[in-house]
Structure 1
Amino acid sequence: MSPRATATLFGHAEAEASLARAFHSGRLAHAWLFCGPPGIGKATLAWRFARWVLAGGPHAKPPLHVPPEDVVFRRVAAGAHADVLELAPQAEPGKRRIIKVEEVRAARHFLALTAAEGGWRVVLVDGAEAMEAASANTILKTLEEPPPRTVLILVTDAPGRLLPTIRSRCRRLDLFPLEEGDMAACLASLLPETSEADRAALMELAEGAPGRALELAEGQGVELAKLARAVLESLPDAAGAHALADRIAGRDAALAFPAFFALLVRQLTQSVREAARGGAMPGWLATRPLAAWAEAASALTRQAQEAERLSLDRRQAVLVAMETLRGR
């Protein structure tokens, strides 16, 4: 389910309360910057806040709650509410995902209009770090001269990639990975048919990010994590590398390929970090200097990103990754 249509938010109670207090104080900031790691619920909170503002900011428990049967909820979920607009990065083959200046200009015009329903107007920018330079400069004009009764919500995993002038004109709200109890409740609710053992494994892999856990569950993340660990413990020979490439770049590659690389890099970097702190060092890690393994992790990340962005042969990318791990 998309964040736009998600009714329940797990964790982030203090963030919700802070937003509700700001609204009811009568001094609501016109621009907000929601920051935090991927998959922890930033977009879900942003849409929850947007719905609640459009509904008039009703007093509710939990804060920001708008029932799914409410007409505002249903219209926002269906993309049919006239007073809310979303901007998000668009992908083109062979190009990086960006938010184009034409879209931001349209949003600027949208905010300048009178609210169709006499209340607030909301623009939600998901993946704000993907704005191209012209887009960032255009949105800055709105931040400098905000129309009345408008809210601009910027959602980002990488606030450092935004212009300092944009950051300085937004009220920043930092979100953090969910606590174990909230994660357990979230996965029990969203993955009721998954075994308790697999949910526990997903919790460990996702590190407090429900969105990440759901991606891993959909892409057989628990099995891929075991496979990534096995690859590091015993680097496959040429035949094994080809078999691995066939498996990772097969018919489910859209999910398996990025998940496998992410889990492989995660296992590698965690092992390097633990060893650098004087912790246990697995046998495979002792075969090369830690700096070399750190460089390999960076190379693997770069290879996976390039393969996805440029639509390269995923099978070949897996084979190259195995050569990287061998130090060749």
Structure 2
Amino acid sequence: MDEARRASLHVIGHNDAFRTFCDAIASGRLHHAWLLTGPEGIGKMPLAFRMGRRLLNAEDPNGSAGRLVTAGSHPDLLAVGRAFDEKRQRFRGEIVADDIRPINSFMHRTAAEGGWRVVLIDTAEAMNRNAANALLKILEEPPPRAILILTSAMPGALLPTIRSRVRKLAIAPLGESDVRAVLRQNVPDAEPSEIERVVPLAEGSPGRAMSLLADKNGAIGNIAREAVRGMPIGRILDAAETLARAGETGFALFFTLLGTALADAARTVAAQSTARGVRLAEAWQQIAEIRARAENFNLDKQEAIIEALTAAGEAGSF
């Protein structure tokens, strides 16, 4: 969240989406809830903070309101997301009802600055059923001059009743020049050759590009593509051991790149073999579920990688 707060002062790209929001403010008919949708890592949360800054007159980084937003202490801005688990040293897999309930009292209190109260919910699809129901009650009776801005890479995972009560704003992936600009801004020490290697692979996602920079020489990506072609069991075990040593970042990047490799393979074979394309698409969903289980329930990462490598190989050689 802190990184998104700071990035909201210099958001690169997404100008059309921000203009749409500003036009809604100017019209005097600003919807009480917005849902920013788009792939992971494209900058939805920095944009959400930028939208909040506009409403709170906090766009000047040197102004008192701007400094409060950057510091995370503005009294009229509440940001909610997956809580950090101090014991496990990672973010929890779900947003729970206790994370959502404070929103109601926050939105109904008098704004400290006499203006708007702004609530941001990051990765809204991570809400469990109880959290989603708690949010739905808030959406059903929104108070005046209070706004909710949600972000989601998987809006289809939200309750239909939530989706029906928000204004959807599709956020497009960035162009390659903008991805380069984000990388130069956030990773100034990155080698130019590495930036040029990852930008075409990032699919418009600076977040993904920064993860790819951590995959020196594309080693994890090579394993992902090899997995789709099929690996013997010995190679699967060796690859899983290597990937497990890469830690949480390597684990997340592997599953992202494996999903991409499966999607690329499905597109390639779709015109030749509908059955094989379907099988690859099903494997993509299966692997997403393997990752979610491992992260939500703190399961053995190496076992999850072995399961994913096996599923990818079975689908690819179908």
User: Which TM bucket (shorter chain)?
Assistant: 0.7 to 0.9
Deviation at 1:208, TM superposition (A): 0.6
- Assess, with a 3 A threshold, how the Cα gap between structure 1 residues 164 and 317 changes in structure 2: closer, same or farther: closer
Task: Choose from 152, 156, 160 the match for 2:148.
Answer: 152
Equivalent residues of 2:230, 2:314 under 8 A apart: no
Match of 2:254 in 1: 260
**1:227 and 2:223 aligned:** yes
Task: Classify 1:144/1:2 alpha carbon distance in 2 versus 1 (closer, same or farther; 3 Å).
Answer: same
Q: 1:54 to 1:215 in 2, by over 3 A?
A: same
Q: 1:225 to 1:159 in 2, by over 3 A?
A: same
Query: What is the alpha-carbon distance in structure 1 between the residues aligned to residue 168 and residue 276 of structure 2?
Result: 40
**Equivalent AA in structure 2 for residue 177 of structure 1:** P
Moved more, 241-250 or 299-308: 299-308
**Amino acid in the other structure paired with 1:311:** N
CA contact (8 A) 2:93 2:295 kept: no
1:91·1:98 contact (CA, 8 Å) conserved in 2? no
1:35 Cα shift?
Answer: 1.4
Displacement of 1:248 in angstroms is 0.7
Name the aligned partner's letter for residue 29 of structure 1. Answer: H
Determine whether 1:68 maps to 2:61. yes
1:59-101 alpha-carbon deviations (Å, 9 max, x no partner): xxxxxxx2332322221121111111112133667x9733332
The equivalent of 2:135 in structure 1 is 139
Aligned-residue offset at 1:318: 3.2
Which residue, out of 74, 90, 103, partners 2:83? 90
Partner of 1:241: 236
- Code of the aligned partner of 2:265: S
Unaligned runs of 5+ in 2: none
Match of 1:62 in 2: none
| Aligned residues of 1:83 and 1:120 also touching (Cα < 8 A) | yes
Letter in 2 for 1:185: A
Q: How much is the aligned-residue C-alpha RMSD, in angstroms?
A: 2.9
Note the residue ranges of structure 1 that are not aligned, 5 or more in a row: 57-65, 282-287
1:20 pairs with 2:22 = yes
Q: Report the residue type matching 1:41 in the other structure.
A: G
Q: 1:220–1:256: 8 Å Cα contact kept in structure 2?
A: no
TM-score by length of 2: 0.85
State the alpha-carbon separation in 2 of the partners of residues 162 and 312 from structure 1.
25
Q: C-alpha displacement at 1:37, in angstroms?
A: 1.4
With over 3 angstroms needed to count, the CA separation of the structure-2 counterparts of 1:132 and 1:194, relative to structure 1, is same
Per-residue CA distance 1:245-265 (angstroms, 9 max, x = gap): 221111x32111221232123
- Mapped partners of 2:127, 2:107: distance in 1: 18
Q: Post-superposition shift, 1:320?
A: 3.6
Instruction: Select 2:72's aligned residue among 67, 79, 82.
Output: 79
| Number of equivalenced pairs | 309
Check whether the contact 2:230–2:313 (CA below 8 A) recurs between aligned residues. no
Distance in 2 between the 1:296 and 1:158 partners? 18
Instruction: Compare CA radii of gyration and give the structure with the larger one.
Output: 1
Map of 2:184 onto structure 1: 188
Which of the numbers 10, 16, 23 marks the counterpart of 1:8?
A: 10
TM-score, structure 1 normalization:
0.82
Letter in 1 for 2:168: R
- How far apart are residue 297 of structure 1 and its match? 4.0
Partner of residue 293 from structure 2, selected from 306, 309, 314: 306
| Equivalent in the alignment of 1:315 | 302
Aligned counterparts of 2:217 and 2:56: Cα–Cα separation in 1 = 38
